[in-house]
Structure formats: C-alpha cells, structure tokens
Amino acid sequence: MLSLRRKKTDAAVSQEPPWHPNFRNFERLPDTKVVRTAFFINVGAIALTVMVALWFAFQEYQLRDLRLQIDAWQQEIDRNKPPSTRAVAQFRKFQEEASRIQEINTFVTARPAVSDLLVQLGQTLPANIAIDGLELRDTGLRLIASVRGAPELASGHASTYLAQLRANARLAEWFEQIELQSINRNQQTGRLVVEYLLKTKKEKGAKK
C-alpha cells in the first residue's frame, strides 16, 4: 500500500519560507572558528615584518662592514702614502742613474776589445803560422797570416788553423762565421799567405 505522505523534493524545500524569522546579525556575531582568522593575519603580518626587518638589518650590517673595511684601508693608505711617494721618487732617480750606467756599459761592451783579440789570437797561434796583419771593421775581422813550410803541408796547416779559429769559444762570442778567404803564394818568401774573414755576429755588429 502506498503511503499517502509524499516525499518533498529539494526544490520544494528551498522555496519553502522559514518556519520562523532569522534575527541573527552575522557581522556582529563572534568568530566561532577554533583558530580565529585574525590570528593568521597577525602571524602573517608579523612574519612579513620580521623578514623585511632581517633583510634591512643584514643590509645595514653589510654596509657597516664595508665602511669598516674602507676605513681600515684608508688608514693604511694614509700611513703608507708618504713613504711610498718618497720611494717612488727614489726609484725614479734610481732608474735614471741606472740607465746612465747601462748606457755606458752598452757603449763599452758593444765592440770587442782589440787588446783582448790580439792576446787571444797570440795565445792560440800555431807555431808554423805568423800573423802579418789584421783589420777590424763593423762587418768583421780580416786576418792575414803567413804559413811556414812546404806548400803541400802549409795548406793543411792553414785548414787546421781555420778549424782552430772556429772552435775558439772566446772568438765565437763575437764572430759567427769564420772563412778562409784566399790562399796565395808570396813570390819573395815562397810562403803561403792566407786570409781569414771572421764575420761579426749580427746582434753585435749593430752600432749602439
């Protein structure tokens, strides 16, 4: 058997007027939530303020630290500046004097000492060779010598002396290429006259 009482639909319920008037003023009623909204707002505001304050404080700390470092450097600069200025002036004077001395050294050492060359050649001269003359120029040293002995042996002595000149370490300081320029027989003495050319090293030959 069907019930005479029919169920009300939701639409019917919402269209139904309340059974009594609602006199509640929601705006004036207290917040009945477990944790009030104001608490969250306040906590958020305080957290934000603290973060901004920390940021500001850290920046101020950095500024103060920079100023302290600047002051420390400034004190060091103030302390070191007068002696440094004096040292710079002294160094300029030192450079000036040193350049004069260097100029003299360059002047003196730019060319070989002729006396040293003569001594070096004299000390290393073989017994069967005699120097007739020498000529020193920018380009090199021309050495003219007579060789004692029969021509077939004398030419060998001349070659040996050439090898000896080339092996001479002192001469190698100044001359880079040593050549036998000519071999001629002296008709009066019958001896061979040889001419050596010692070419000056390029870096030494330039006049300074």
Q: Copy the structure tokens of residue 124.
A: 């290393």
Q: Which CB atom, from 105 or from 159, has the smaller least distance to other proteins?
A: 105
Q: Which CB atom, from 103 or from 153, has the smaller least distance to other proteins?
A: 103
Instruction: Please give the Cα distance from 158 to 195 (Å, whole number).
Output: 9
What is the x/- site pattern for other proteins, positions 73-92, by CB under 8 A? xx-xx--xx-xx--xx-xx-
Q: Which CB atom, from 91 or from 173, has the smaller least distance to other proteins?
A: 91
Least Å distance, CB 200 to other proteins, is 12
Q: Is the dihedral of CA 117, 120, 124, 130 positive or negative?
A: positive
Residue ranges of alpha helices (H) inside 18-145 are 37-109, 114-123
Q: What is the three-class DSSP state of 44?
A: helix
Q: How far apart are the first and last CA of the chain?
A: 138
What is the x/- site pattern for other proteins, positions 38-67, by CB under 8 A? x--xx-xxx-xx--xx-xx--xx-xx--xx
Q: Which stretch binds other proteins (CB under 8 A): 2-10, 23-31, 107-115, 162-170?
A: 107-115
Instruction: Please give the Cα distance from 6 to 33 (Å, whole number).
Output: 39
State the DSSP code for 93.
H
Q: Of residues 3, 32, 187, 188, which one binds other proteins by CB under 8 A?
A: 188
State the DSSP code for 150.
-
Least Å distance, CB 22 to other proteins, is 25
Q: Which CB atom, from 50 or from 167, has the smaller least distance to other proteins?
A: 50
Instruction: Please give the Cα distance from 180 to 195 (Å, whole number).
Output: 6
Q: Which stretch binds other proteins (CB under 8 A): 14-22, 113-121, 154-162, 192-200?
A: 113-121
Taking residue 25's Cβ as centre, other Cβ atoms within 10 Å add up to: 7
Count CA atoms closer than 13 A to 94's CA, side-chain side.
6
List interacting residues with other proteins (CB under 8 A). Answer: 38, 41-42, 44-46, 48-49, 52-53, 55-56, 59-60, 62-63, 66-67, 69-70, 73-74, 76-77, 80-81, 83-84, 87-88, 90-91, 93-94, 97-101, 103-104, 107-108, 110-111, 113-115, 118-119, 130, 132-138, 188-189, 207
